[in-house]
Amino acid sequence: MKKFAFKSFSIIPFLIVAFLGLFNLSSFGMEGNYSAGDQFIKIQQLESDLRQLNGRIEEMSFQLLQMQESVRKTQQDNEFRFQEIEKKLQDSKKDKVKSTKSDIGESNPIKKQSSNYSDTKENPSKKVLSSLGTPPSNLGSLRFDNEGNPINYTVNKDSSDKEVVSENSEGDDKLYKDAYNYFSAGNYALSEQNFRKYISEYTESPNSSDATFYLGESLLAQKKYNEAAKIFLAGYKTYGNSKRAPEMLLKLGVSLVFLDEKKAACASFKAIDQKYPKASNSIKSKSLSEQKRLSC
């Protein structure tokens, strides 16, 4: 900050000018109008006026310096307050993101699908299970309050989602069908339990991606949003080339909305169009709707 200093005006130059002016007037025959006493009084008056003017200038200079100092202190105080607010917001956001990442950023619990289970290599014993694992999916219903905050999530039941009757078969067929029956009946706790068991015991099954998706749906319906986000994220990373991948991204975004991670949710929704341009219209429509609502 530049400080302005005002020096006192010397009266000597003014006295010289005044004297020369009077001398010039006398030389033009006007000396009769001004006596020596009058000249002295005029000079004194001029000196007084100059002193008053100089005093006012110094006073104004001091007031200006005071105002500048006050503005500087106010700016520093405001800047400090803004920095404190910004720091608190960043710390709060970091803590929230760290907490969320600790829940969903763990090591992937799902193993890669083996190439031995390709879509082109199905044996008769797997045909029923394969057809069971790909029922018409429903995107669920996400409800919000008046302020746009999520308040509930329900799994919509399509008429085509018929309940599958468990058979007395052994192995993964029966376990998968039992888990899916519980899911269709709305018993999400047992559905979660059975799908977890299925994924744990049959990691290389061709229906692992479907089981992972329904496990995430079961958790989401139970409002276990952290666990649901972890499952959908792990499923997307593991089965990124499966037909369930776009839905897993969509449901990952829904889970993140409930966790109040709107930026991450927007990133999930946007990734659907970027990575899966051939995704179904229902998935794209739901994704676009959420992006508009969140102002992504």
Confidence of residue 270 (pLDDT cuts 50, 70, 90): very high
Evaluate whether residue 111 is within a structural domain: no
pLDDT at 171: 65
Radius of gyration of the chain (CA): 42
Q: Is pLDDT of 235 > 90?
A: yes
pLDDT at 241: 92
How many folded domains does the chain comprise?
Answer: 2
For residue 32, what are the domain limits?
12-103
Same domain (yes/no): 49, 148: no
Same domain (yes/no): 135, 93: no
Q: Which of 170-174, 193-197, 228-232 is the least confident region?
A: 170-174
Same domain (yes/no): 99, 128: no
Same domain (yes/no): 16, 146: no
Q: What percent of the chain has pLDDT over 90?
A: 38
Query: What does the alpha-carbon distance between residue 196 and residue 49 come to, in Å, rounded to a whole number?
Result: 97
Structure-token match 């990373």, residue found: 237
Domain boundary among 56, 73, 103: 103
CA end-to-end distance (rounded Å), the chain: 43
pLDDT at 107: 40
Domain boundary among 36, 71, 103: 103
The CATH number of whichever domain residue 205 belongs to comes to: 1.25.40.10
Q: Is pLDDT of 200 > 90?
A: yes
Same domain (yes/no): 82, 191: no
Q: pLDDT higher for 194 or 94?
A: 194
Tokens representing 258 are 């409930």
Q: Is the pTM of this model over 0.95?
A: no
The distance from CA 67 to its chain's CA centroid, rounded to whole angstroms, is 40
Evaluate whether residue 184 is within a structural domain: yes
Nearest CA-CA partner of 232 in 258, 202, 206? 258
pLDDT at 38: 80
Query: What does the alpha-carbon distance between residue 26 and residue 20 come to, in Å, rounded to a whole number?
Result: 10
Same domain (yes/no): 79, 137: no
pLDDT at 122: 40
Same domain (yes/no): 141, 242: yes
Same domain (yes/no): 131, 256: yes
Confidence of residue 258 (pLDDT cuts 50, 70, 90): very high
